[in-house]
Structures are given as C-alpha cells and as structure tokens.
Amino acid sequence: MPIMTDLHTELKASIIEQLNLEDMEVSDIENDEPLFGDGLGLDSIDALELIVLLEKDYGIKLTDPKKGREIFESINKMADFIEANRTK
Amino acid sequence: MKKLYLHDDCIISPLGFTTSKNLENLRSGTTGLQKLNKNDFLDTPICAGIVNSEILTETFAEIGNPQDFTKLEQMMLLAVQGVLDKNPELDLDKTGLIISTTKGNVHLLDDLADFKKERLFLSNLGNIVKDFFGFKLKPIVVSNACISGGLALAVAKKMINAGKFSEAIVVGGDMLSKFVVSGFNSFQALSENDCKPFSKDRTGINLGEAAAAILVSDLPKKNSVNISLVGDASANDANHISGPSRTGEGLYKSIQNSLKEAQISSEAIKAISTHGTATLYNDEMEAIAISRSELGEIPLHSVKGYYGHTLGASALIEAILCKHMMLNREIYPSLNFTENGVSAKINVVTAYQKSINLDYVLKTASGFGGCNLAMIFKKEGENG
Amino acid sequence: MANLGVEHWVRIKNERIILDGEVIFSSEVDIARFLKASFKFLNIKYPKFHKMDRLSKLGFIASEIVLKNNNIDEETALVFSNNSSSLDSDQNYQESVKDFPSPSLFVYTLPNIVLGEISIRHQLKSENVFFIEDEFNANLLIDYSKQLIESKKANKVLCAWLNLHNDEYDVFLWLSSESHKKEASEEQIRKIYDADYD
C-alpha cells in the first residue's frame, strides 16, 4: 500500500475541481496513474491550468512548460515536487 | 464566382498611420515592436507592438473628438478615413461595411471609463463605424479568432457574389489589453524579446495592436495593374481547440481548396505570406502544411517581427501587404530569422528583394478553435 | 441559385429543447443545471463536455440533437452568429485576471471556439465562420450558406444563432442543404425562430 498523505488527497480534489473532471472522485485517481495520455486523459490546456494551480495553492512559479511534463506525470510526482518546492 | 479586386487601403500601426509609411519600414527592416520592462499589462516585461496613444489622439482629433471613442475605435475610424480620402466619390449608401475583430473593446470589462456598456458588444463597434461615416447598409461583423481579418475578405467576396453590394470597405482591428496579454501569458505563449518566426531559437509570440481598412470591388481599377482575391478557403482541424494540428491538416486542406478555386496548381505560387506567429507549434504546423502542398521552395515571410500578432487585424494587414508586394514587385524580409527551426523544408526570405514578378501570392492564417484560412491573390493587367 | 431547404432544426430557449416543432426536453431550472440535465438527456459519453464554457455547451447540445441520425460528412460547413460573442466567458476570465489568469477560461473567450468543439465532435473539416449581429438575422446566414454550396465549398451547412447573455440563452440551429423539396425562405426561417411552441 503506498503512503497516502493529505497532500495527495488535497491534490486530487483540487485537480477534479480545477479541471472540471465531472463524475470523478478522489478515490478514482491512483497515485501512480499517468495524468496525461491514457490515464486521466488530460490535455495541454489542463497542463497550463495545473501550472496555475501550483502557483496559486503552493506558491511555486513554473516558467518552463517542458518541466511540467515530468512533474505532472502522476499524483506521486506532483506531491514530491510540491513538498520539495512549496513556499506556502 | 466573381473575383474580388483589392483597391485602396490604409494601415494604422506602430509602423505608421499610412500604408506608405508602413511599407517604408517594411522595406528597411524597421520593427514596430518595443520591449517594455514596466507596462500596463503584466508584472513582467513584455515585447509588443504598441500604437502611441498621444500621437493617435492628436491625429484622430482632425476627424473627431477623441474622448468619444476608444483607442480601437480611433484606429479603425482613421483606417477607414484613409481609404475614403482616396475615394471621395464613393457612394456610402450602397457600399458594404465588413468589420473584423477578435476582442473589440474588451478592455472596458476592467474599467468602463465614461463609456456605456454597449461598447463591449462587437456589433456596436460595427455601428460606430457605420454612423461615423454615414454608411447606410448594416455592417457585417466577423469574429473568428486570428483568421478574422482574412475571413472578412472572403465574406466580402461572398456577399458581393450574392448581389448584396458591389463595393465594400473591409476594416479590421484589435488593441492590446490586460485581458488579451494576460491570456496569452497564461498560455506561456509570449516571448519577452522580438519574436523569431520559424527560427530554431523562437520562444513565442509578441502581441501587437493595429487597424487596417481596404476598399474591395467586383470591378478592377481602370487602366491599372490589379490585384484580386481569386481563391479562398477555410477548414477546421477538428483536432484541438487551442493546439494546432500536428499534421497541418486544416491548413493543408485550405491551401488545396484555394488553389482549386483559383484554378491553378501550386507551381504558380511565387511567394507566401505566412501566419508565422513564432510559437513552437504554429510555425511547425504551418511549415508542414506548406511542405505537404509542395510549396517548400517558395519564398515566404512572416511580418510578425514588425507588428507582433495583431489578432483580428493581422490577416487583413498581411493581405494588404501581399497586394503591395505584388504591385511593387518586392518581398519584405522576415525579421529575426536565425536558423531553420521547423521539421519541414521552407524558404524564409531574410533580405529585402526587388524586381520579382509575383503573379500569384498565397496568404495563410490559423487560429484558436482549430480554424485555418488560405487566400490566393492574382496580379493582372501588367505587360511583361 | 442553390435552393436551400431545412432538413432539421432545434430551438433551445426558456428551459426547453424543441426539435422540428416538438418539445423533446424540458427542465425548469437555472442554466447550469439545465445544461447538465440536457447533456444527461443526450445519453452519450463525452467527458470533454464538462470542460466547455456555457456557450460551447449550448452549441454542443444543439448540434448533437440536429446532427443525430443525419447523414453528414466532413464537408458540412458551420455558419454561426450571435449578439454577445463570448461575453459570458470574457467576464469569467476577467475575474480570474485579478487573481491568477486562467488559461482554461481564456481559451473560451472567442465565439468561434464552439465551432472547434463541434468540428472535433463530428469530425467536420469544413468552412467555419462566426458573425456578430445586433439580433437574429436569417438573411446573412442564408446568403452565406448559399455561396458556400454554390461554390462547392460545402455540401450542407449547419446554421445557427447561438446567444448567451446574463444567463439567458437563445439558440436556433438548423441543418441546411440543397433541397429537392421547397426552399426555406427567410420568412419561414424567421417564423420558426419567432414561434412559441406552447
């Protein structure tokens, strides 16, 4: 069983809300599931919206969109990145 | 289908308030872009094509009260005035009026100033132009993202064919606002430095503001060389609402259909005026569509390095520039090109070229919503 | 001159959806819930619907109903119009500018985005145009459609008035094609638009 922190749950909830993932619940998103492509099926506009989410909720400014691709690979990757870089 | 002849025009931009002033700067490779560390739009520096408000107001005061009109309206009205000055005999009772804009006076959402809320409506913008000059026919307003300015010419052609009028003034314009600049910034699409269309080191677009107007007619100018729109086609990518198609599908199809209507093959095309916004994806998509159309060897340019992306004005300004290139037998250089940065072979013009016979020129444009447009202009009436 | 007839039409107004003169769905709720309920009524799986702005949702639902069971191909053009452009979404985006400008709101601040959404859904790689008018003007849509059909740039045209302002929606879509039956005149189309359907 992977460790499920509050941050993981919080992230899932805000992703569902920010990206209008209708009919989805926190428990539907796996921590290591790919967010883009075959996984949740997010697209390039969603990626930009996730960049806004990082800044708004965690005070992290991401200026290189290419870097986003690695960070937004999964909830686990996102949570690790936020823990290491958050300013709020 | 009747042809659409391009008559007198006027461009209001950071490069000047007459078309000839614009052309001078294009020939000498002088940009209208400026880098502003402190600006009204973002907390970070921007590089943009900004029309000087003071000079605009001063110039506009000669034809109207600047306080009664927004910056965009002033630019558009001056552009139309520039065309009417050259055509004092034009019968405004019968002349069509076609307006193209993407965002109109959207800056008023932030602060209405002394203007009424109606000013936010794009159809109102049409009525402002109509009433200022006393046009009688109802204006047609086109708002179809970044292909609007070119599409407005295609609309003029269709309405003339439908017998609604035989002459029309097409006017396009957009202005910079916090709304638009912050939006493109949220797309991480803006470059802080002069944009570099088709270059390997391109980092995004610059936005610009401008207006342009042109008189179009189903009849050629007498005793003169004439440029006409002989083929136009739009096609949707049906792929993504903001990202250009990877295969250039919609633009390729637009080019093919416009060639078909012009009844020529791709070999007849002598130059291409591209959309060339300098985003990674637009330029790549456009190069693919051009190369798929077997136009990879044809000289092409983007004028975004002079104007930035002027949204609803851009394709109209660029069509007007096509007309002048064809009449003057010249090609304006694509500014800031360094090294080819697209996967397909294309031929970017980097120096001003003269004495070139351009009997057919292709103009392309693409925009949000997956829209694409291609137009083919033809020169006729020239001996030799 | 091409003779254009109306194959099918849909009207969405006052919490009701009317197809070819018949009320097929009604739900007396606010616009947000009406859109949700209408989508449910379509009974399709299309997660992207929920990401759209309200103008696109309205256009999506209306086109879904009109194009259902209709024989269309990728050359079906889209000729749309309205009065308030994308003002509803413009206002939402403007709100976000004060705080953190939202790219997913910004992308919908153009009226023609709905044309992209419909094109993606039905794989239409066709001519598109979006006009802004003071009020519903059937003439312009008919004239433009005829030109598209006559110049063989389209074989059918989906025409629309798709307006949304201050939560009030007024939608009229019709599929226009060269008809063997009678031509639909401007007056007839205007009449469909004006009728009450009680």
Q: Are residues B64 and B101 in the same domain?
A: yes
- For residue C94, the distance in angstroms to the closest alpha carbon of chain B comes to 7
Out of A72-76, B50-54, B63-67, B85-89, which region has the weakest mean confidence (pLDDT)?
A72-76
For C134, residues 6+ apart whose C-beta sits below 8 A from its C-beta are: B123, B127, B138, C83
Q: What is the reported pLDDT for C11?
A: 97
CA A73 to chain centre: 8
As for how many domains chain B has, the answer is: 2
Question: How large a percentage of chain C has pLDDT more than 90?
Answer: 89
List subunits contacting chain B, requiring 3 or more Cβ pairs under 8 Å: A, C
Which of B168, B191, B217 is where one domain is finished?
B217
Q: What is the reported pLDDT for B384?
A: 43
Q: Pick from C51, C100, C101: which is nearest to A20 by CB? A: C51
Read off the CATH number of the domain in which B345 is found: 3.40.47.10
Asked if B229 and B383 touch (Cβ cutoff 8 Å), the reply is no
Mean pLDDT, residues C115-124 = 97
B86 touches chain C (CB under 8 A): no
**Domain edges within chain A:** 1-8+47-88
User: Which residues of B, range 138-197, sit inside 8 Å of C by Cβ?
Assistant: 138, 140-145, 151, 155, 158-159, 161-162, 164, 178-179, 182-183, 185-187
Residue A63 above 80 pLDDT? no
Q: What is the mean pLDDT of chain B?
A: 97
- For residue C50, the distance in angstroms to the closest alpha carbon of chain A comes to 6
Residue C123 above 90 pLDDT? yes
Read off the CATH number of the domain in which C110 is found: 3.40.47.10
From chain C, pick out residues whose CB is under 8 angstroms from the CB of A62.
none
Q: Are residues B171 and B262 in the same domain?
A: no
Domain holding B301, by residue range, is: 226-379
pLDDT tens track for B302-322: 999 999 999 999 999 999 999
Q: What is the reported pLDDT for C172?
A: 98
Q: Are residues B44 and B172 in the same domain?
A: yes
Q: Are residues B230 and B366 in the same domain?
A: yes
- In this prediction the ipTM stands at 0.98
Which of B217, B235, B266 is where one domain is finished?
B217
Which of B156, B184, B217 is where one domain is finished?
B217
As for how many domains chain C has, the answer is: 1
Numbered residues of chain B with Cβ closer than 8 Å to any chain A Cβ: 186-188, 240-243
From chain A, pick out residues whose CB is under 8 angstroms from the CB of B187.
48
Grouping H, G, I as helix, E, B as strand and the rest as coil, residue B236 is strand
Grouping H, G, I as helix, E, B as strand and the rest as coil, residue B180 is helix
Q: Are residues B125 and B166 in the same domain?
A: yes
Residue B165 lies in a domain: yes
Residue in B263, B247, B235, B243 with CA at minimum distance from that of residue B365: B235
Tokens of C119: 């094109």
Asked if B373 and B147 touch (Cβ cutoff 8 Å), the reply is yes
pLDDT tens track for C11-60: 999 999 999 999 999 998 899 999 999 999 999 999 999 999 999 999 99
Mean pLDDT, residues B70-77 = 98
For B345, residues 6+ apart whose C-beta sits below 8 A from its C-beta are: B287, B291, B296, B297
A61 touches chain B (CB under 8 A): no
Q: Are residues B209 and B282 in the same domain?
A: no
Domain holding C79, by residue range, is: 4-194
pLDDT tens track for B334-355: 999 999 999 999 999 999 999 9
